[in-house]
Every structure is written in C-alpha cells, then in structure tokens.
Amino acid sequence: MSERADAVRNRAAVLRAAETLFRSADADRVTLARIAQAAGVGKATVLRHFGSLTGMVEAVLAPRTCALREAARSGPPPLGPGGPPEEALHSFLDALFDFVRDNRALIRALEHRSPDAYYANPASQWWLAELRHRLHAARPSADSDYLAHALFTALRADVMDYLRTTRGMSPQRLRQGLHSLVPPPPPN
C-alpha cells in the first residue's frame, strides 16, 4: 500500500526542514521538536517517519550516500570497478573526504548522537567494508580491518573541523595527510 499524499508531503517537508536546520544551526541545537516546528508538523509526525534524530540525519544523508555508493559500484574507474587497486583505494579516500567536507554538518550531527553512531549506521558500515576491500586489494598483507577504521576515524567531521579551525590546516593538507596514512605498497 502506498503512502497517503499528505504523508508524502509531510515527509518531504520534514526532510527539507531538517536539511536547512542542519546547515544553519549548530548540530547540538537541532532537535526533533525544532525540525517539526520548521516543517509545520507535529513532533509525532517526525517520530513516525524517522524514529529518532539519528534516523532523521540518516534519512537526509541517504540520497547522498547512495550517489557515492553507486559511483563506487558502477561508475568509471578508478572510483568505480576496474581500476588499478592503488588508484581505486586513493580515489575512494578522495571521494569519502569530499563527502565529509560537503556534508560536515550532518555528519557532525550523527557523531553527536552516540559514541558509535558514526561507525554503526548503514552508510558507514558500507564505507568501512569498501575501505577494507580496497585496502586488501592494494595491501594484501596489511591489517585492512584496522586500517579501514583508522582511516575512517581520520575522516570524522569533528576531527577534520578541529584540524582545520584549531590547528589551521588547509583542506589540501588534510587530504594529503589522509593519503599518507596508507602504508606504502609492498616492494616488488
């Protein structure tokens, strides 16, 4: 059974309101009540559609995460399949870096929900699996599980914001630093 037209409109209004609030406000100050008020619906409507603030953040991020996933699964190499393992790994790191940079407010909101929300959400689980896969392909003898988590932690929006604002590091320096965390290829 399909959703009623008013439910579809309400869901779209809530998503737009949440996206606007997360862009303009401190992530800690966005609440389900504020989102509901901005969307012109009751808090129960927001809860019914999204379940929690974490669910709300994941729903706003979902179309963006799908675009990155599709580019990695079926786009042209080196981000998509078929490229050399080394290039595929570094292309994926660049794509994740750009994703976090472009969606930092939403990712900060996710990071603030719970200690492991950044790692446990479905998108992050896929990104970690893809990182493990690409690391293993490029560095078969390395501990790809540990390295995937270490690299993914370096991509936290709060870490990147701290390094950029407090330590004065440029985005280019952050990107180069991320790539330098990957161990060098094994000698031939």
- Name the residue ranges covered by the structural domains of the chain: 1-51, 52-180
How many CA atoms, within 13 angstroms, populate the side-chain half-sphere of residue 57?
A: 27
| CATH T-level topology, domain 52-180 | Tetracycline Repressor; domain 2 (1.10.357)
Average confidence score pLDDT of the chain = 91
pLDDT surpasses 60 at 1? no
Tokens 């037209």 identify what position?
5
Whether 137 contacts 82, CB under 8 Å: no
Q: Which contacts (CB < 8 Å, 24+ apart) does range 171-174 have?
A: 171/101, 174/97
pLDDT digits (tens, 9 = 90+) for 36-69: 999 999 999 999 889 988 889 889 999 999 999 9
Q: What is 1-51's CATH superfamily? A: Homeodomain-like (1.10.10.60)
* CA distances to 30, 65, 140 from 137, in Å: 40, 23, 6
